Amino acid sequence: MSKVIVINAEHGGSDVGNKGNEISEKDYTLRISNYINDELKKEGVQTYMVRNSDDDMSISERVDMIEEETPNSKDTIVITNSIGDTYGGAEIIYSLDDQSNLAGLIANELESIGVKVNKYYQRRLPSDTTKDYHEIIREAGDRESIIIEYGDLSYDEDFIKNNWQELSQAVVNAL
């Protein structure tokens, strides 16, 4: 069986996410997600977009869509595109159930285009350290799940605005 890539653009609709002077997270995560989707499809990769327009979607709605539409196996990779509060630089968060291989590949590709990668890591839920912190990762089932935070709008707004295609292509290259 070949891999299925699920692409999840954070935020949407009335939830703009982080906002800089000229850009909002919801718009750029959707641009990045659409680019990744289009490029992977050109390569013949099976993809599934969770949010492909400016819609309000809760995390539980996103999880339900992923569960209904994609196989619950390690052959499914869930990529969530985000622009976080990373204090200048990218961060990649991967599931407690997964190895760091894909996160490391993404970090290397981002660094190859000049992005400072602060770290790639796993994050635990403080109230139960056996579980992932982020619900989208925690509820992914057996799917490999990664959140990519491309930078922080306080520090990286111009870079993200001017280089979102290069950021997107770096993820495509890693995948």
* CB of 80 closer than 8 Å to CB of 132: no
The Cα 42–Cα 149 span in angstroms is 25
The Cα 56–Cα 93 span in angstroms is 23
Give me the residue label for tokens 């850009």.
23
In the chain, the percentage of residues whose pLDDT exceeds 70 is: 99
| Confidence category of residue 24, pLDDT binned at 50, 70, 90 | confident
The Cα 122–Cα 129 span in angstroms is 11
CA 86 from centre of chain:
14
Per-residue DSSP letter, 107: H
Torsion sign over Cα 2, 28, 150, 109: positive
| Confidence category of residue 86, pLDDT binned at 50, 70, 90 | confident
On average, the pLDDT of the chain sits at 92
Residue 72 has φ and ψ, to the nearest 5°, of -90, 80
Provide Rg for the chain, Cα atoms.
15
Structure token pair of residue 67:
């569960």
pTM of the predicted protein model: 0.94
Distance of CA 74 to CAs 112, 123, 160, Å? 27, 20, 30
